[in-house]
Structure formats: C-alpha cells, structure tokens
Chain A
Amino acid sequence: MSQNKIGVDQWVEQYDQRVNKAKGLQGFIARTSQRLPPWGWLIVLVAVGALLPVITQNNFAIRIAGNIALMGTLALGLNVVVGYAGLLDLGFVAFYGIGAYTYAYLSSDFSGVHLPTWVSLPIIIVISALFGLVLGSPSLRLLGDYLAIVTLGFGQIFVQLMTSLTRVSLPGHERPVDLTGGPNGIINLDKLSLFGFTARTVTDHYLILLVVLAVALLVIYHLNRSRIGRAWRALREDELAAEAMGMPTRRLKLQAFAIGAAVAGFSGALFAGWQGSVFPANFDTTLLISVYAIIVLGGLGSLPGVVVGSIVMVAAPDILRDVTLAGTLFYVGVLVTLIGAIRPRWQTALLIGLVVVFGVIVRLIVGALDAQALAEPQLSNSLITNTVRSWLIIPVNATIIGNYAFGLLILMVLGVSRIKHSVWRLAALVPTLYVLIFVWETRLSQEPSVTRLLFVGVLLIVLMIYRPNGLLGQKRVEIV
C-alpha cells in the first residue's frame, strides 16, 4: 500500500487531514462522527428510534425494537463488569432476575403491594446493587476462572431457588408459605406506571425502553470517561500495576459489580413490568449466552457496539422466523461474501453464471435419467426463491437427499478451503455453491427453528474470524 511510504507516526499524525479530505458518503460520515458529541449521537438514536412507531403500526416490529432496547440496557451493565473492569461474571443474569422478582413483589397481588413504578424502581436499583455487593465481596477475592465458576454457580442457585421456594416454613405462619410461585412464576403484575402515566400498548413500552437505553448509555459513557472508568480499565489491563499506582482495586471491582447489578436489576424490573409476569425460566443460561454474545459481537467495552450487538442478536433470530425474509437474507449474505472474497469482481459474475449453467446441466441429466425423481417446484412469494427454483432441482424425497447433501456440503467447503490455486478454486466453488443452494432450498428453508440457530452461529463464527475484537471493538493487545 502506498501509505507505507511514510512512517507510522506520520500516518497517525495525518489522521485529521485524511478525514477532512475523504470524499463522498464515507467522508461525510467520518467527519460528522468526529464532530458530533456523544449526546448528539444519543439524540440521533432516540430520534431515529422514535420514528419507528410513526412509520409502522406493526406490533411485531415494535416489539422486536423494544426487545433490542431492553437487551441493550442489560448488556450495558455487563459491559461495565466484563468490558471495563474485566471481571468474568457468569452470574450476571441473576441480578436481572432479582430486579424482575423484586418488581413482582412490589407491584402485584402476589404480595399485595402495589407501588407505582417510579417509586419501586429506586428501591429495586438499591436492592440489586446491594446483592451485587454482598455476592461480590467474597467472590472478588477469586481470580479469573475461579470467579467465573463461582458466579456461574450463583446464577444457577438463583434459578433453583426461584423454582423451589414454594413451601417455606416461616415463623408466625402455620402453613408453609409460597415465596416465589415456583415454576409457574408470578403473574398479573401491575403495568409500568411513571408519574401517573401507565404503559399499556407495545409502543408505550418501546418508547420507555428507548429512553431508558439512551439514559443508561449516557450514564455509562460518563462513568467510563472519568477517574473511575479509567481506574476500571487500568485494573482490567494490569491489576497489580493499577494497585501500585494508587488505585484501590478491590473497592473498584466491587463498585463495578454493584453498578452492573444495578443496571441489570433495573432492566429486569422493566422486563417484568412489560411481560406482566416473571418465571424462573426467564433467567436461565440462554439469556446469559445472548447477553455475552451481544457484548462480544459489538466489541468488549464499546458502547455503540452494545447497541449494534443487540440489534443483530435480537433482530436476527426474530427476522429469521419468516421464511421469505430468511431466504432473502441467505442469498444476500452469500452474494456479499462472494463479492468480498473474490477478486477481481468479474470472477464473481462468472462464478454465478457457471453455477446456473451447472444447475441447468444437472437438471437435464437428472431429468433424462429419471424424470419422476423431480418434484414440481412450489412457488413462493419471493422473487429470488422463484428464480432459483426455476433452474434448481427439487427431488421428491427432499428430506433424505437434503440431509446427505448437507454432509457433502461440509466436506466440499473443507475441500475448497484447501485449494490454493485460484482457477481450480473457482472451478471447485461452482459445485460447492450449487450444493449450498440445494441444501438451503431443500432442507434449511423448511426448518426455520434450526436455520435461526445455525445462522446466528455462523454469523458469530464468521465475524470472530474477520473481526476478532467485535464489530466496533478496539484492537486489543495482550502482550507485545
């Protein structure tokens, strides 16, 4: 590259000049993003977010957006604990649960208490933070892996307790008392009510969650850019050096733990209010994995990363429920990957042409051998799918053949990745792509539940290969 002619120092020094000279949309975005202060970004976020209910009355879409905001807020809390302070806390979701159950106790017939949300929220924040402190103080003596295991245990214990504390003998009560509602949880919670306004529709909840996310982003951003945030990150980088530079590392870790717990508890309360009920199963390991996936995907320690991460992690599985959308996403994904991976570009076009020709030939051969083996293609309402099915073969017993093809596909992909010579690789890609499309059409598009997980898994793997530090994460160096 031509830039290498000047020294690295100069290259860095000239960053501003380059940004100012950059042309077109890219340059515009780079310049604006530099000038816009953080609260400017927040205003953009809220404004764009608030447009959604104006554009669409589709409750499905608004619900997804609400989920994104909720998961984003939750992930922000984890980002403090893991991304800033570097504490691998696998019991994090329990604090979400504690917040949710506390909300249930403070606003339902289960306990007979009915506090408005703006009164109960501060209480919930304090209680969750206290739990964070109580659980943090013994476990923070542990290092790394040990901390992870102990906190994982804590998360499990929480779910267990909520499931089983249904017959507890308390002094002053003759019969055993049900403290948690067991696996059936606590239902009919009060609606979220803030200063006389009660959230009823999906849109109400969405707007509240959007504002909450924005406020949480601002608070965490401010904490990060301060003596406390710097100390957190210093302690993540090198605990001993941080301590030697006058930072009370134990106290700082506890503070990180407590603020993470407070944010989680707060989001848990909003979750409970929105869902109108709480169940132990809401707080199991699946949720833990999703939250971790969000911050890892977005880039540990990056705030915009949390937002992007939760958009991807929440929206992708929901969108993929829809077969037509999933198909479009699949073909667009394949196309983008091809364009990105193959240079020069005309080879991509050639490749696609060859795949179609290959498909037509296969169709002719199979038709000549055994015409009854082919099923009539079912037309769908997707243009892409119909175009593909016009030259692809769909066998009668698609399930079995599709399964075999799936195995074959894995072998072919492994094989192609070994071929170094570009012409041969291109040639080998033709049947591989054909089988890929075949497997998609015969098998995967028929099973959305499997496809969704597969999609998210593949997405994470591909992303981590190309961007090991997450979408918006900064480059991280361990030892140099």
Chain B
Amino acid sequence: MALFELQNVSKHFGGLQVVSNLSLAVEQGEIVSLIGPNGAGKTTVLNLITGLYAPDAGKIVFDGRSIAGKDVHQITRLGIARTFQNLRLFLNMSIIENVMSAAYARTSANWFQIILRTPGFWKEEQHIRAVAEQKLAFFGERLVGYRFEQPAYSLSYANRRRLEIARALMTEPKLLLLDEPAAGMNPKETQEVTELIGKLRDELGLTIILIEHDMGVVGGISDRVIALDHGEKIAEGSFEAVATDPLVIEAYLGRNENMVRK
C-alpha cells in the first residue's frame, strides 16, 4: 500500500478551480516531482496536504489514515514536514533555535520540569540540541560551529533554504515536501541540493515530494514525475516520458517558452 495518497482531491478559490479531481500515490522511499507552469497549482497541493487548506472534495490518506480536516500541527506530528516556496524562517531567532523549535511536537518537558530545571528537562534539552546540530551538519560546514548562535536573518539566501530543510527534518518526518528548494541558487549549489535530496532518501529513508522548476534537479533525482496544468494531472511517469509528453510541452510553451530548459 502506498505511504501517501490523494484521491480525487479538488480545491477552488472563488471562481478559480485550482486543483481539480487530482489523484496521486507515493510509495515509501520514492522521490516524486511535481512540475508544471506557474500557477498550475503545485504549491496549493502542498498546502492541501499539510492542512493549510481544506479540500473541497476528495480524500487525503497518509500512513493508512485519512488526514483531511486535521489541524496543521497534528498533520506535522503524524510525520509530514515541508519547506516553503517563499522562505518562512523565524528570522529573529538563532539558527540552532530555528531548528530546535521544530522539536516541539516530539518533546514532552512540562511546565514543572522546565521551571525547576529537573534532570529530565536537561536530558531532553541536551538531546534536542544534539539532534539539531546533527540536522544542521547535514549541510556540511555551512551551518555549523559559530553559526549556531547567529540570528537567521544573517544568513544568505541559499543558507536560508538549507536551514528550512534542517528545520523540517527536525520534526522527524516520514514524508518531506520540498517547495522549490533550488530556487535562487547558483548551478553549483543546485547540484549540491540535488545530491542532498538523494542523501535524504538514502540515509534517512525519507519519502519526498519535490516541486521544482529546474529540470536538471527534477531529471537528476526523480523516480517519477507528475505534471500539472490548471490543477489537473496531464502526465505521469519517468522524467524522460513526461518531459517529452506533447501535453506537457504544450502547457509550458503555451504560456512561457523559457520554462523548458532541457
């Protein structure tokens, strides 16, 4: 059985049908890419999955249970984490605290333990910190050491994207949703991100849904690609098959020729 499934999900805003009757399934350990021209509804799909929007119709099943209608934080607790297309870090908190804060759902120290600084509290706190440092170490040297205590706003754009991934990892997800992780990165950094996504699957056993405009990233890493246009699935299959699909080419060419890069 698939780890994650969308069954006939629809969503509209006013008169605009943003997602219509979309079904898709993701197997444990798969990397699935969602592509499509601007405004196709990719981010909306992530918002539906994470509970920010409630679907008009259809079912969302994760790990064998329906999650549509649950609170956002409950869905995260069940094991779905995400990054945001327009970066939403806690800018005035330190880098390590950005990551540590995401351990909230996985920790349990109560008011008493916190105020009295009991041994149980210290143990948990040290554990959180160690895990957070380990998540940051995933990105090599870039976010470690003296950087831990720096505020998040002091980071470069690419590092902010990395920090967001680290923060998402801290929630201990099974399914990771990445919304354009390579946006605004240079070719070398883009290459790094591609490798990193592979590492996340291979070393942490994560299942990943990836939204990306950079066809290099999509082609390099995806097990399967799903193309959306106007909220509908227009193609699904291997990257080669989808990239050469006439409907997909038309969807991109019809609106924006620059989108087809490869």
Interface residues of A (CB under 8 A from B): 8, 12-13, 15, 219, 222-223, 226-228, 230-231, 233-234, 237-238, 240-249, 474-478, 480
Contact = CB atoms under 8 A, between A and B. Distances in A.
B43 to A, nearest CB: 13
Interface of B: 50, 52, 71-73, 76-77, 81-82, 84, 88-93, 97-98, 100-107, 109, 111, 114-115, 117, 121, 124-125, 128, 145-146, 150-151, 153-154, 167-168, 170-171
Given A238-B88, A477-B91, A245 B114 contact: no
Contact of B115 (A223, A234, A246): A223
Given A237-B93, A241-B84, A244-B52, A219 B115 contact: yes
Given A222-B117, A223-B115, A233-B93, A245 B101 contact: yes
User: What 9 A-B pairs are tightest by C-beta distance, nearest first?
Assistant: A246-B105, A237-B90, A241-B88, A246-B76, A230-B101, A245-B102, A226-B114, A477-B153, A234-B101
A478 B90 CA distance: 10
A228 B111 contact: yes
Contacts of B52: 240, 244
Contacts of A234: 90, 93, 98, 101
Contacts, number: 111
Contacts of B151: 474-475, 477
Nearest to A243: B72
Given A244-B76, A245-B102, A246-B105, A227 B90 contact: no
A231 B104 contact: yes
Given A233-B97, A244-B52, 18 more contacts: A223-B115, A227-B107, A227-B114, A227-B124, A233-B90, A233-B93, A237-B91, A237-B92, A237-B93, A244-B73, A244-B81, A245-B81, A246-B77, A246-B105, A246-B171, A248-B73, A474-B92, A476-B92
A474 B97 CA distance: 15
A148 B184 CA distance: 38
Interface majority SS (helix, strand, loop, mixed), chain B: helix
Contact of B73 (A233, A247, A476): A247
Choose among A8, A228, A240 the residue with the greatest number of B CB atoms under 10 Å from its CB: A228
A478 B92 CA distance: 8
Contact of B101 (A240, A247, A475): A247
A477 B155 CA distance: 12
B97 to A, nearest CB: 6
A161 B128 CA distance: 48
B5 to A, nearest CB: 21
23 contacts: A15-B146, A227-B103, A227-B104, A227-B107, A231-B104, A233-B92, A233-B97, A233-B101, A234-B93, A237-B92, A241-B84, A241-B89, A243-B71, A244-B81, A244-B84, A244-B88, A245-B101, A246-B77, A246-B102, A246-B104, A247-B105, A474-B151, A477-B153
